[in-house]
Amino acid sequence: MSNVSNASNASSVSNPGKVSDQGTTTRNGSGALIVLDMAGTTVADDGLVERAFELAAERIGVEPGTAEHEAKLQYVRDTMGESKISVFRHLFGTEEMARRANSAFEDAYGELVDGGLIAPVPGARRTIEKLRADGRTVVLTTGFARVTQDAILDALGWQGLADLTLCPADAGGRGRPHPDMVLAAFLRTGAADDVRDVVVAGDTAYDMLCGRRSGAGIVAGVLTGAHDRAALTGHGATHVIESIADLPSLLPESA
């Protein structure tokens, strides 16, 4: 998940363990399985994550313009890509408050989506269609809950565009930077024989950590979302590209 500003705020991500560019990935494989983030990578949400958080925070009693509000909003920025329920557990302390905040956030984001304030990243649909036409399996992943993921897919007319869509609940509940969604895609699709044949693409530091921890052969950062080139490479990107439309150029001719 992300907003669209390319701020370098990922440097202040609560460090879950950096992965250097010379990390464990040693082989770029076939690219048989492509695991793509949604907001900020394939979906241009134009800052909707921040806007939804601000609406949700106000609805549960966090006063706009206060130091508490600004500190919480900054944490949301710093942890773009992480499962939102995990973010709210950190921000609000108790499970009850975290679930209230998450529900308010999902409602607010859904309202913004329903208002037409969402669009695909230019070339994203064409890229997904090309990848599948080339024989690759494409999975769309998100840190949002399933209800919000489906609202986005419906708004864009993307139901059925990818081979599979996953949210954290589909992979046992842990979102990024844990590798669970990538590994769930690997196991559920059976599209690749080796995790090094997996390609992961996203716009945040947590996307990069998730990809590297999964063992993916290519972990591509895109510059259409939350974090800049330095943040993406600093957290393990094997490649950085301007847009998801450039991803096919990184791949071998056939899967």
Task: Give the type of residue at 27.
Answer: R
Answer yes or no: CATH 3.40.50.1000 is held by domain 9-45+119-250: yes
Element spanning 70, H or E: helix 67-78
Omega within 30 of 0 (cis) for the link into 120: no
pTM: 0.82
Show the tokens assigned to 90. Answer: 């950190």
Output the tens digit of pLDDT for each of the chain's 255 residues.
443 333 334 433 434 333 333 333 445 678 999 999 999 999 997 888 889 888 998 899 888 889 999 999 899 888 887 888 888 999 998 999 999 998 999 999 989 998 888 999 999 999 999 999 999 999 999 988 899 899 999 999 999 999 999 999 999 988 899 999 999 999 999 999 999 999 999 999 999 999 999 999 999 999 998 889 999 999 999 999 999 999 999 998 765
pLDDT computed for residue 10 by the predictor = 41
Q: Tell me the DSSP string of 150-191.
A: HHHHHHHT-TTTSSEEE-GGGGTS--BTSSHHHHHHHHHH--
pLDDT at 252: 86
How high is the pLDDT of residue 213?
A: 97
Identify the CA nearest to 182 among candidates 125, 140, 127, 131: 140
Contacts of 143 (CB under 8 A, 6+ apart): 1, 81, 82, 83, 84, 167, 168, 175, 176
pLDDT of residue 255: 58
Give Cβ neighbours of residue 20 (< 8 Å, ≥ 6 apart): 236
